A = this chain, B = another copy of it.
Amino acid sequence: MILETRHSIAEILSRQPLFRGLSEVELAQISVGCREFRVKKNEVLFHKGDIPEGMHVMVMGQIKLALPSSQGVEKIVHMCGPGTTFGEAVVFLDKPYPVSAQAMSESLVLLVSKRVMLEAMESNHMLSRKMLAGLSSRLHELLGDMESCTLRTSMQRVVCFLIQSGAADETPVFDVALQSSKQNIASQLNLAPETFSRVLGHLSEKGLIQVKGRTITVLDRMQLRNFTA
C-alpha cells in the first residue's frame, strides 16, 4: 500500500517540469521525502510565520500566496497553478514562511522535505540549475510587481496587466480571461476592488476594452499602450 503510494508519487513527480528528466532511482528517493496534501477550497496550507518543512509542488488546483496584515486585508503576492512550485526559498534559509498559502480551489500539493531536496540537488546538477532558474524568475517577477506598485498609477497598473496578459504577438484585439475573481486581481495589482472596477469602467467608456464577467476584450492594443507612459 505504501509502496504503491510512493510509486504513484514518483510518477506524479516525473510529470512536473522541475523533476522531468530525473532517473527512476532519483524520483524514488525524492518521493520518500514527500508528503501529499489535499486541500479544499479556502483551506489554508500554511500561515506566514509557520516553520517550513520543505518545498511545495502544485499538482492540481490553484493556491494563492499572500501577505496578511493586522487588519483583515491582505496583499496577494502570487497565484500558483499546476506544474509550478512554491516555497523554494525556504529550503535554503532556515526562516519562517514570509507569506501565507491558501487554496482558491480544491488542490493537490506535494511537500518535498528540505533534506531530500538538498540531497537530490547535490547529486544532480541539473536540478540545482532548475532551482536557480526558478528562483531567478520569481525574483524578476517580484521586481516587476514592485515597479508596478511603486511607480505606476492605478490606470497604468491595470493597462500593463491587460497588455501583459495578452499573447506576446501584436494582435490589436484579444481576450483576457481573468483566472480569478476581480477582487483577487485587484489585490495583486495593489488596488481596492472599487478602484479596479472604476478603472475598467473608464477604459470601457473610452471604447478601449469591453468587460463581460471575467472576460475582458482588449479592442485597441496600441491606444491602450499609450496609457502606460
Contacts and interface: CB of A to CB of B under 8 A. Distances in A.
A29 to B, nearest CB: 17
Interface in A117-153: 121-122, 125, 128-129, 131-133, 135-140, 142-147, 149-151
Nearest to A75: B150
Contacts of A135: 89, 132, 135-136, 139
B77 A140 contact: no
Given A132-B135, A139-B138, A142-B142, A147 B67 contact: yes
Contacts of A89: 135-137, 139-140
Which secondary structure dominates where chain A touches chain B? helix
Interface stretch (A93-101, A163-171, A205-213): A93-101
Interface of A: 67, 69-70, 73-75, 77, 88-93, 95, 98-99, 121-122, 125, 128-129, 131-133, 135-140, 142-147, 149-151, 190, 229
Given A88-B136, A125-B128, 4 more contacts: A91-B132, A132-B135, A135-B139, A149-B150
